[in-house]
Amino acid sequence: MSDQNFPIFDLGAFEAADEGEKRRLGAEVDEICRSTGFLAIANHGVDEAVIQAVWAKTHAFFDRPADVKQRAKAPYPGYPYGYLGPGTEALSKSRNIDTPPDLKESFNGGPLAVPAGMTDPEALGFCYAATIWPDGPEGFADAWKAYYRSMEDLTARIMRVFATALGLDEHFFDSYVDAPISALRALNYPEQRVAPQPGQLRAGAHTDYGSLTILLPQPGSKGLEIITPDGQWTPVPPVPGAFIINIGDLMALWTNDRWVSTVHRVVNPPPEEGGMQRRQSLAFFHQPNWFAEIACLPSCLSPGEEPKYAPVLSGPYLMGKFKSTVTAKPN
């Protein structure tokens, strides 16, 4: 898969289109989501200054000594936010595949505010838990929050594209995602100085858990791969000026598998292709409201067909998936 044949969707053109053109463009997205579940979003309107600021601050954070980064660590295994050092996560475990820990470190943050009236103890203790901010670099939290807000806005707009693609009213999903429990994750895949263990990847094969993910890979970086319809692992190229979008498990459930929650991973490319070099990315995991019931859409059922999945609540589903990936044990 190259830049030339990777699907790129012009979001600005969709938003400026009339209803007929929106339906035509939506049909294109429907076809993409039926096949690979991955596409690039161009003309997205996100301020480049906001992107560059969070790139700079997260890069500077990962440059800090290990003991300094650990001052922002998650306070216990299973806590969702703060710094997670190397060896603390194995994403393949979410698919019941036992592998060595992933070769990465991350900083993670959740919603910037708690909705009025939220009293559910699991929600407050998990998705609305406090982000453990680092004490530097200066301006880190401000840059992070500005990017998070930009991603919240972008995901709401993309969900309207998805509604159109599914033949629904453009605002169908609005009430499901007006208080999302999304998370932002900055990922750093350090330079590899020794060979990985057998089966050890930078990020093990997995699907994402929510409605959609917005990925911003480092320009020119390699290693992200998906399983395409032919069953082959296929590289996904970074597209200049665009975000990479992929469908998550809950969107597949919503659509009764009409749309694909594609298995993907980050591999260790050969050294001659830069595989040993440091790689960084930003991933925004969009998750519907905590209490949103995700049940098969009637428009995604043929006459006489039954839903493949029982309805789930967004928050508890996410919590169970996340905790299955944690490898470290409590002291």
Residue 97: predicted pLDDT: 58
Least confident of 18-22, 60-64, 180-184, 320-324: 320-324
Who wins on pLDDT, 165 or 263?
165
Label residues 177-186 b or e (16+ Cβ within 10 Å = b).
Answer: bebbbbbbbb
Residues 6+ apart with CB under 8 A from 120: 290, 291, 315
**Of 32-41, 48-57, 223-232, highest mean pLDDT:** 48-57
Confidence of residue 321 (pLDDT cuts 50, 70, 90): confident
pTM over 0.85? The answer is yes
Least confident of 22-26, 164-168, 223-227: 223-227
Q: Cα–Cα distance between 37 and 70 in angstroms, integer?
A: 36
Q: How far is CA 137 from the centre of its chain?
A: 24
- Whether 78 shows a pLDDT value over 90: the answer reads no
Who wins on pLDDT, 99 or 166?
166
Residue 328: predicted pLDDT: 44
- Whether 275 shows a pLDDT value over 80: the answer reads no
Residue 27: predicted pLDDT: 97
Percent of the chain with pLDDT over 90: 62
Residue 6: predicted pLDDT: 87
Residue 269: predicted pLDDT: 66
- Segment 53-80 mean pLDDT: 94
Residue 1: predicted pLDDT: 40
- Whether 329 shows a pLDDT value over 50: the answer reads no
Closest CA to 244 of 123, 106, 151: 151
Who wins on pLDDT, 134 or 277?
134
User: For residue range 217-258, what is the model confidence (pLDDT) as tens digits?
Assistant: 888 777 788 887 788 888 888 899 999 999 999 999 999 999
Closest CA to 166 of 287, 262, 296, 329: 296
- Segment 146-160 mean pLDDT: 98
Cα separations (Å) of 64 from 36, 213, 221? 37, 27, 22
Q: DSSP for 265-295?
A: EE----GGGTTTS-EEEEEEEE--BTT-EE-
Confidence of residue 331 (pLDDT cuts 50, 70, 90): very low
Spell out where 11-167 has E strands. 38-42, 82-84, 105-109
- Whether 5 shows a pLDDT value over 80: the answer reads no
Report whether 144 contacts 108 (CB < 8 A). Answer: no
Torsion sign over Cα 30, 31, 34, 39:
negative
Helix (H, G, I), strand (E, B) or coil at 145: helix
Looking at every residue in the chain, the average pLDDT score rounds to: 87
- Segment 61-82 mean pLDDT: 93
Report whether 264 contacts 236 (CB < 8 A). Answer: yes
- Whether 318 shows a pLDDT value over 50: the answer reads yes
Token pair belonging to 176: 């499901």
Least confident of 97-101, 118-122, 140-144, 151-155: 97-101
Q: DSSP for 196-255?
A: PPTT--SEEEE---SSEEEEEEPTT---EEEE-TTS-EEE----TT-EEEEE-HHHHHHT
Torsion angles phi and psi, residue 295, rounded to 5: -130, 155
At 228, the amino acid letter reads T
Confidence of residue 93 (pLDDT cuts 50, 70, 90): low
Other CB atoms within 10 Å distance of the CB of residue 195 = 10
- Whether 287 shows a pLDDT value over 60: the answer reads yes
Token pair belonging to 75: 């306070």
Residue 76: predicted pLDDT: 87
